[in-house]
Amino acid sequence: MLEVKGVTKSFGTGDRTVTAVNNVTMAVPDGEFAAIVGRSGSGKSTLMNLLGALERPTSGMIFVDGQDITRLGRGELVQYRRRSIGFVFQSYNLIPNLSSTENVMLPMEFAGVGKDERRQRARSLLDQVELTGGKQHRRPGKLSGGEQQRVAIARALANSPRLILADEPVGNLDTQTSGTVIELLRSLAHARGTTVVAVTHDLSLADRADRVFRLQDGRLQAAGGSGPAPSAAGAEARESGR
Ligand code: ADP
Ligand code: MG
């Protein structure tokens, strides 16, 4: 379970303060696929960085499996990012001179997994994201965008994280490829019980999500899943066409 309680993040000081995330409260149960939508500048990436403990909030608490990650010390933070979180980015961020398999093995090396097991697990993860055969030995430059994002998703799964954070994961992909990557993220959430939070501009991604959080000027709109209010549930159902 991911729980965000009254989280605010401001940048700068005095007159120049920008409140990128403003008193956000939300929860995502284990194994759900949640989408965060909103215009450019609405605070989506800042919220993701807070969830991934890449930034600390100005105020508020973030609980992952009951532990407030905003209170972790430096060493604990490194462990949290390595073991509990899988990051997926719009630009894939694969290492160009490593093969698909080697890219997926890398986070396991940081986690101290032995080489044979790393290779075996990487192959199995690549099979799961349906990147098979010779493509497992190719470098990212020899793969399509959708294939590269599959490798990135397999890499995000490498250390069996509790949470996958995907910032605009289909931002660089065509509509059809986006659809298959979205379905992959959704099925991983449901099949593995891994919570997936994905930022998107793409309404078809939001449509496939179990819940949708809408940010506007850093504030969460009453659009779904953030609380028990009946109006919020109704808005979510309308939004997803259910
Ligand atoms: P989104 O991802 O929805 O486009 P961001 O979270 O990137 O939005 O940004 C939200 C707001 O916070 C914007 O006004 C942006 O300029 C500001 N912002 C984000 N990061 C920083 C930072 N490191 N320093 C100052 N302002 C920032
Ligand atoms: Mg962003």
User: What is the 43 CA–ligand 1 centroid distance (Å)?
Assistant: 6
What average pLDDT score do residues 204-225 get?
Answer: 87
Structure tokens at 153: 């998703």
Which residue carries 């910032």 as its tokens? 167
- Averaged over 8-20, what is the pLDDT? 93
42 alpha carbon, closest ligand: 1
Look at 60 and 65; give whichever has higher pLDDT: 60
Residue with tokens 């055969």: 133
Rg for the chain, CA atoms, rounded: 18
Structure tokens at 56: 């600390």
User: 127 CA distance to ligand 1 centroid (A)?
Assistant: 36
pLDDT at 63: 96
Reported as a pLDDT band with limits 50, 70 and 90, residue 223 is low
SS3 (DSSP) at 29: coil
For a ligand 1 pocket test, name from 7, 8, 11, 36 the mutation site with the most ligand atoms within 8 angstroms of its C-beta: 11
Where helices occur in 80-166 by DSSP H, the ranges are: 100-110, 115-128, 145-156
Copy the structure tokens of residue 120: 């075996």
211-216 and 33-37 strand pairing: parallel
For residue 171, how far is its CA from the centre of ligand 2 (angstroms)?
A: 11
Q: What is the per-residue pLDDT for 85?
A: 94
Q: Rounded mean pLDDT of 215-231?
A: 67
> Which of 21, 20, 23, 28 has the alpha carbon at shortest distance from 6?
23
The predicted-structure confidence for 75-130, as pLDDT tens digits, reads as follows 999 989 988 999 999 999 999 999 999 999 999 998 899 999 999 999 999 999 99
Mutation test of ligand 1: which of 19, 40, 46 has the most ligand atoms closer than 8 Å to its C-beta? Answer: 46
Q: Is the model's pLDDT at 228 over the cut of 80?
A: no
* 49 within ligand 1 shell (Cβ under 6 A): no
Give me the torsion for CA of 21, 237, 176, 41, rounded to 10°: -20
Q: Which residue CA neighbors atom 6 of ligand 1 most closely?
A: 43
> Quick one: pLDDT at residue 227?
39
- Over residues 125-151, the mean pLDDT reads 96
State if residue 110 touches ligand 1 by the CB under 6 angstroms criterion: no
Q: pLDDT band at 230, cuts 50/70/90?
A: very low
The band of 204, judged by pLDDT with boundaries at 50, 70 and 90, is: confident
pTM over 0.85: yes
pLDDT more than 70, % of the chain: 92
% pLDDT > 90, the chain: 80
Is 123 close to ligand 1, i.e. is its CB under 6 Å away?
Answer: no
Q: What amino acid is encoded at 231 in this protein? A: S
The Cα–Cα gap between 119 and 212 comes to: 36
Q: From the CA of 216, how far away is ligand 2's center (Å)?
A: 13
Q: Are 8 and 57 in contact, with CB atoms under 8 Å apart?
A: yes
Give, in order, the Cα–Cα distances in Å from 99 to each of 3, 109, 122.
36, 15, 11
How far CA 23 is from CA of 36, 125, 144, 198, 212, in Å, comes to 15, 37, 40, 20, 17
Smallest-distance ligand from the CA of 89: 2
Longest CA span, the chain: 57
Please give the pLDDT value at position 202. 80
Query: What is the pLDDT, as a whole number, of residue 242?
Result: 38
